[in-house]
Amino acid sequence: MDKNVIYVSSDIKLDNDSLLLNESLFHNANGYIGVRSAFEEGYPQGYSSVRGQYINGFYDFSQAKQAENLYGLVQEKQTMLNVADTQTILIHFDNEVFSMFEGTVIKSRRWVDMEKGTTGRHVVWRSPQGKEVDITIIRMASFHQLSLFTIEILIKSINFTGDVMIESYHNGKVTNYFDPADPRTADEGFHYLQPNSCNIKYGASYITAKTSKSNLEVCSCVKNLLSGESERQFIVDDNNALCQMVTSMQSGETAKLIKYCVFADSLRVSDVSAHAAAQMKQALSVSLSELYQLQADYLSEYWANCRVEIEGDDELNTALKYNLFQMIQSVSKDEHGNIGPKGLSGEGYEGQYFWDSEMYIQPFFTVTNASISKKLISNRYETLEMAKENACRLGHKKGALYPWRTIMGKECSGYFPAGSAQYHINGDIAHSIVKYYLATKDVDFIASEGAEIIFETARLWMDAGNFYKGAFHINDVTGPDEYTCLVNNNYYTNAIAQYHLQWAAKLYYSLRKLPAFKRMQKKIQLRNEEISEFKKAAAKMYLPYDEKLKINPQDDSFLQKKQWDIATIPKRNFPLLLHYHPLHLYRYQVCKQPDTVLAHFILEDAQSLETMRNSFNYYEKCTTHDSSLSGCIFSIVAAKIGQRDKAFRYFGSSTKLDLLDLHRNTKDGIHTANMGGNYMAIVYGFGGFRLKESGICFAPMLPKRWTGYRFSICYDERRIAIHVGKEKCKFYLENGKAVSLTVYGKEHLLESKLTIKMA
């Protein structure tokens, strides 16, 4: 198997479940647009399909129904929209239409090419009447031109001579997918987009539409080019466009169709129709082969910065590379979008953004493509005023509280105990900004945007918490574990609040002389007295600790609850949230995902190694791993405390989660945060990498089943490559000036190459 290509061969089933899964696995995206991989020709009647095409950050409002309309509860949420259907293409051979479900599929395969940035499908097909053709379909969402999605179809006749009619559809009357039985998808069907025009100009179809409530506009434009075309006509009906084209073929000849699709939205431009026209002109100004080359060039640089390779396990290596490819497909390249739990591969969680962005995904980009992390921070900066409004809605007099679920900045979480109460999102965002600062030393950006976020969110802790008997407590919050809600002194929340407040003070003293910082300080009326309060709260932060067990309790009440032997729970009852009432879960020592264990990873300096080890062993017994965010973190901490075999087991299942559909919900979209966690499991786990105020540190270890592994990081305008083998680990400075780094606790100067014996 080519390690750069993911294949699904001809023995795949064409049942509906497999097709829905492959729509996610083989989707195309570039961070702006995402297109699920439904068959161009469609499926038989009775089959369901999430035939979606999405734009990052583009949304409409929908009702968030509350049983009791108490003050401050969310009444309205945002949802990502299916903006058009430009995929549908029917190929007629005389009176027969190509379909994988009719006639005979002699052979077929599908693939994702992670070097070229394309997906493909190849079919050799015999029609019911005996016509044989060879069809290859290549799709691309362009990284060079983010508005552009292309479909190239090569039709080679094996024994057919005659006319081929191609019907290429452009459908603006689309709806979102919904499944009322699944809380991760939208719970109602509704036409969020209302098409207001469908026009044909210069051989291209333009459909403009407007959202029902958010007052946003989108324009999709489609142009088809068919080799040997002899006739063409457009049919416009009810704001849908159909382009019918005819070409003639002889046995052995090949016909080519290229379908160009571009998108424009009013979040980013004022005149969507004019912008779409300009984007189509740009797309047509170069050949498709040149666009393919530009795609490959973009990815070549991407892989140079972030390549991770496992030696001794080709299958796992390919799965890991697939995950990293999905990361660059999913993440926004501008400040108008972010990255959701499903990226742009499906409608799970309605396309809303969570804390996953900062804690699982941004760490990857911060040390591989920091410019993308900068855009993610800017996206949070753009919504800071709404975060301040959110804090006010929840009763806080000062500061900002970022919403738990959002697209455009307002809270979408209807169930506040497991949503809005997760105040730790403020600390998560602050943590990601600090890590960006440590990795890039981008003082100007921190002074102009990052610091304002940090100070406004730090203010929130001073109102959410209070001093009691000399210690600073934070009550009635929910930590990362969604099976334990509304507790006092959640360890993770308090620890990250402490880190947040400490860094607010550090940045104040290090940046306060900069003009940009002075302007920010005046803008938000930041007082010296507040900094003193931040320092005091951080110094007196209450961090739960149990002397008998020598662990950090997850919160004040966690150890008081009944224990639940997870091994006795029937497998059919997982995930627990779909089979047990929330109150039932809240009364047990049962965790959906790492909470205190996660704190021991990202804030390891807050506790001793003994405490981390004891906590890991304790919480491992009561964690269900119902969340895809779980396995990778347990892998990292297992590596930290020396449990190598466990680290490897957690990593393996986590890495193949989507390709093997281990959670049985990848049909709703890939798990982007888990994919970022897989990267961290190798680099931060096995590689022992840490990004600290003192510099960069490593403590490499090698899993028994591997012969070695490699990874690269970017740090302060340098790229460093690391190769870990059985006896030695080697560090290479690929560009930039010499740099100090710490390996196994000892400082070294990397000038060109450094070889260190494995511990």
Secondary structure class of 514 (helix, strand, coil): coil
Cα-trace Rg, the chain: 27
Matching residue, tokens 């102009």: 448
Over residues 138-154, the pLDDT tens digits come to 999 999 999 999 999 99
Question: Is 257 within 8 Å of 166 (Cβ atoms)?
Answer: yes
Tell me how far apart the alpha carbons of residues 433 and 421 are, in angstroms, rounded to a whole number. Answer: 22
Question: Is 203 within 8 Å of 277 (Cβ atoms)?
Answer: no
Over residues 206-259, the pLDDT tens digits come to 999 999 999 999 999 999 999 999 999 999 998 999 999 999 999 999 999 999
Task: Map 290-307 to HEC letters.
Answer: HHHHHHHHHHHHHHHHHC
* pLDDT at residue 11, rounded to an integer: 63
Per the structure block, which two tokens stand in for 215? 């007052």
Over residues 38-67, the pLDDT tens digits come to 999 999 999 999 999 999 999 999 999 888
Tell me how far apart the alpha carbons of residues 341 and 352 are, in angstroms, rounded to a whole number. Answer: 8
* Residue 12's pLDDT band (cuts 50, 70, 90): low
Task: Count CB atoms within 10 A of the CB of residue 352.
Answer: 24
Residue closest to 604 by CA, chosen among 615, 593, 619: 615
Over residues 690-733, the pLDDT tens digits come to 999 999 999 999 999 999 999 999 999 999 999 999 999 999 99
Backbone region of residue 559 per phi and psi (left: phi > 0; alpha: psi in -120 to 50; beta: other values) = alpha
* pLDDT at residue 13, rounded to an integer: 81
* pLDDT at residue 515, rounded to an integer: 96
Name all domains of the chain by residue range, CATH numbers in brackets.
5-302 (2.70.98.40)
Q: Chain-wide mean pLDDT for the chain?
A: 95
Question: Is 600 within 8 Å of 573 (Cβ atoms)?
Answer: no
* pLDDT at residue 160, rounded to an integer: 96
Residue closest to 526 by CA, chosen among 456, 597, 578: 456
Over residues 509-525, the pLDDT tens digits come to 999 999 999 999 999 99
Active site residues: 482
**Which residues make beta-bridge pairs with 63?**
76
- State the first-to-last Cα distance of the chain, in angstroms, to the nearest integer: 34
Residue 181 has pLDDT above 80, yes or no: no
* pLDDT at residue 640, rounded to an integer: 98
Which segments of 603-643 does DSSP mark as H helices, in order?
609-620, 631-640
* pLDDT at residue 649, rounded to an integer: 94
Task: Count CB atoms within 10 A of the CB of residue 233.
Answer: 9
* pLDDT at residue 67, rounded to an integer: 84
Residue 1 has pLDDT above 50, yes or no: no
Over residues 724-742, the pLDDT tens digits come to 999 999 999 999 999 999 9
Over residues 529-560, the pLDDT tens digits come to 999 999 999 999 999 999 999 999 999 999 99
* pLDDT at residue 652, rounded to an integer: 82
Matching residue, tokens 């491992």: 620
Over residues 443-478, the pLDDT tens digits come to 999 999 999 999 999 999 999 999 999 999 999 999
| Phi, psi (rounded to 5 degrees) for 407 | -120, -55
Residue 2 has pLDDT above 70, yes or no: no
Tell me how far apart the alpha carbons of residues 731 and 720 are, in angstroms, rounded to a whole number. Answer: 7
How far, CA to CA in Å, does 620 sit from each of 464, 590, 592, 635, 638?
Answer: 30, 10, 11, 11, 10
Q: 533: number of CA atoms within 13 Å, CB side?
A: 15
Give the CA angle between residues 347, 12, 626 to the nearest 5°.
45
How far, CA to CA in Å, does 105 sit from each of 15, 17, 94?
Answer: 15, 19, 19
**Which residues make beta-bridge pairs with 742?**
697, 747
Question: Is 628 within 8 Å of 673 (Cβ atoms)?
Answer: yes
Over residues 609-632, the pLDDT tens digits come to 999 999 999 999 999 999 999 999
Residue closest to 93 by CA, chosen among 129, 147, 138: 129
Per the structure block, which two tokens stand in for 97? 């239409």
Give the CA angle between residues 516, 521, 525 to the nearest 5°.
155
Matching residue, tokens 């499991």: 681
Tell me how far apart the alpha carbons of residues 537 and 459 are, in angstroms, rounded to a whole number. Answer: 11
Tell me how far apart the alpha carbons of residues 169 and 150 are, in angstroms, rounded to a whole number. Answer: 14
